[in-house]
Structure 1
Amino acid sequence: MKYIILSIVALFFMTGASAQKSTPLPHGMVFGSKPSTIGLMPASKLEDFMGKRTRTSAAISGVILDVTKTKGGWFTLDAGRGRTIAAHFKNYSVVLPKAIKGREVIISGVATKQFTADDQQQLAGSKEHAVKINPKQRLAFEVVGLMVNK
């Protein structure tokens, strides 16, 4: 009888601990600094907004597809049309929980295009090199602030 009561109490505590781990992140929760919402655009329009620029500051909203590394806040963001944005925090001390996967967020920071030179030389000398942008490659985003939107 004593063992049955102890096992029921242990089961009660185990379910309580697992429920605490899966608590949803509240709307408005901020990681890093609070992101700017001036000029906010969807992540699917970021590449068109950048045009021929290789770097630009932006504030975008999108859905997190996966948290690849919690320390440093490494994650992938859906950019629409089958593309993704590889993002990480500028401040490495930010810890992003795995529970944020699938949530809509607002992020602000610096977006960069990843490209390679036509002859595989990233450091061009006096000769001009044509830059080929691979449409399958992702955009990179260095995040200064993230806020959970939905």
Structure 2
Amino acid sequence: MKKLALFTLLTLFSAVAGAQKHEPLPHGMVYGNKPDTAAMMQASKLEDFMGKKTRITTAIAGKVLRVTKPKGGWFEMDAGNGRIISAHFYNAGISIPRALAGRTVIISGIAAKQFIADDMQHLAGDTVSGKKQHRVKTNPKRVVTFEVKGMMIDQ
């Protein structure tokens, strides 16, 4: 009976100790290709830098908000003013740890704007005039996605 209790305690202790191990994420750790930091900018300045372009190749630095899917490297990055950059790795074989959330990283790859219209009626050719006329939104919601070729942990 004492052996069974001791075995149960040791098993429980080893399970708890094993669950608390964290993967170390040292400064400079690279996933994918090492990003070129020569022309790097802050993630909050990306949309202004893109201007009217819909796609550019660049390197940005920013804080990871959360890792949505570790396998394939899907994560969200803070773009400032409540905006989010949705990012994923070009190479789907890369896995990133969930502990990356809250860390500052440098990523390089292709940034792309995706336009989402708030009122899709104007795309359907609505030609109604008078009281039923729909107002066309001039500023559609913009979402920036980032296809990551390489990432390096900065802080």
Q: TM range, normalised to the smaller chain?
A: 0.7 to 0.9
Alignment counterpart, residue 145 of structure 1, candidates 133, 142, 150: 150
Equivalent-residue separation in structure 2 for 1:17 and 1:85 (angstroms): 34
1:89–1:143 Cα contact (<8 Å) kept: yes
Query: 1:73 aligns to what?
Result: 73
- Cα distance in 1 for partners of 2:25, 2:37 equals 20
Residues matched between the structures, number: 138
Give the secondary-structure state (helix, strand or coil) at the position aligned to 1:138.
strand
1:120 maps onto 2:120 in alignment: no
- TM-score when scaled to structure 2? 0.80
- Distance in 2, matches of 1:101 and 1:143, equals 16
Give, in angstroms, the shift of residue 38 of structure 1. Answer: 1.3
Q: Secondary structure at the match of 2:27?
A: coil
TM-superposition CA deviations, 1:95-115 (whole Å, max 9, x none): 122111111110000111112
Query: What fraction of aligned residue pairs are identical, expressed as a percent?
Result: 49
Q: Secondary structure at the match of 1:81?
A: coil
Matched, 1:44 2:44: yes
Q: Secondary structure in 2 aligned to 1:80?
A: coil
Which residue matches 2:106?
106
Q: 5+ unaligned residues in a row in structure 1: which ranges?
A: 122-131
Deviation at 1:133, TM superposition (A): 5.3
TM-score under structure 1 normalisation? 0.83
For the aligned residue pairs, the C-alpha RMSD in angstroms reads 1.9
Distance 1:102 1:116 in 2: 28
Q: Which has the larger radius of gyration?
A: 2
How far is the alpha carbon of 1:116 from its aligned partner?
5.1
The Cα shift of 1:36 comes to: 1.0
Alignment match, 2:62: 62
